[in-house]
Amino acid sequence: MQAKRWAPAVLTLLALSGGASAAPAIADERPWLSRPDHAFLRAAHQAHLAEVAAAEDARRDASTDCVKKAAATLVEDHTRLGRHDWALADRLGVHLPDRPTADQRQELTEVKADVGTPEYDEAWLDARRAAHQRTLALIDQQLEWGSTPEVKAAAWAARPVVAGHLRMLRAAATCRTESSPGAEHAEAGGQRDTRDDRQALLGVAALGSGGVLMVIGWRMAVANRRSTDER
């Protein structure tokens, strides 16, 4: 009887020391995600899906070359970001949606209603600018409140791309397209974006090594970028 009483305690100690079984190690392969982290992965992925769908429409239906070029950039960049989402979600055990939200699909339908009219390009640009502003707000919220390093790193790396798209879309409204995010931008703007990209990469590297102090850097950089995005 005494041996039976002690058995659970012994097994617990062995498990904590790693000697009882492989079960704890298997559980650690997919760390627990907080609700904000889980929600961010799903929402960010749906935003990428919506951008690719909208951009494919514009590549076919837009009447100006600058809008078609902007659309091509969105397809390339958001497709790449979407692939990263799938890889990260698979590692973390998160199931991602395979289509945009109902509101996003409704927005796509409303913009398509203007195909063949002079209003289409402007309606498409208005919708995409608003969507990118929402995505930036989503990313900033994740950087502020997220708790999983890998998810925060993904948000940090995506932010300069999304911010670059917003600047490009604003310029496309007057058919003055900027370079694709990731390439060199002209003069001071290009230098600023290149610096931001380097900061993002440093943030990802620091997260990979468990750099907790980068949270302070994130908040300072995000505040600076928010003021830049408003320009």
Average pLDDT over residues 134-144: 96
Band the pLDDT of 73: cuts 50, 70, 90. Answer: very high
Q: What is the DSSP string of 143-167?
A: HHH---HHHHHHHHHHHHHHHHHHH
Q: How far is CA 26 from CA 50, 91, 178, 206, in A?
A: 35, 13, 47, 25
Instruction: Write down all domains in the chain, each with its CATH number in brackets.
Output: 33-223 (1.20.1260.10)
pTM for the complete prediction? Answer: 0.68
Contact 166, 129 (CB under 8 A): yes
Residue 183, φ and ψ in degrees, nearest 5: -95, 170
Average pLDDT, the chain: 75
Task: Estimate to the nearest angstrom the gap between the alpha carbon of 55 and the chain centroid.
Answer: 17
Q: What is the pLDDT of residues 19-59, one digit of tens each?
A: 333 333 333 345 578 888 999 999 999 999 999 999 999 99
**SS3 (DSSP) at 137:** helix
Q: Which residues contact 74 (CB under 8 A, 6 or more apart)?
A: 51, 52, 54, 55, 128, 165
Least confident of 32-36, 159-163, 166-170: 32-36
Q: Above 90 in pLDDT, residue 104?
A: yes
Question: In the prediction, which pLDDT does 182 show?
Answer: 40
Task: Give dist(CA 152, CA 41) in Å, integer.
Answer: 10
Residue 209, φ and ψ in degrees, nearest 5: -100, 10
Question: In the prediction, which pLDDT does 160 show?
Answer: 97
Report CA dihedral (86, 87, 88, 93) to the nearest 10 degrees.
80
**SS3 (DSSP) at 142:** helix
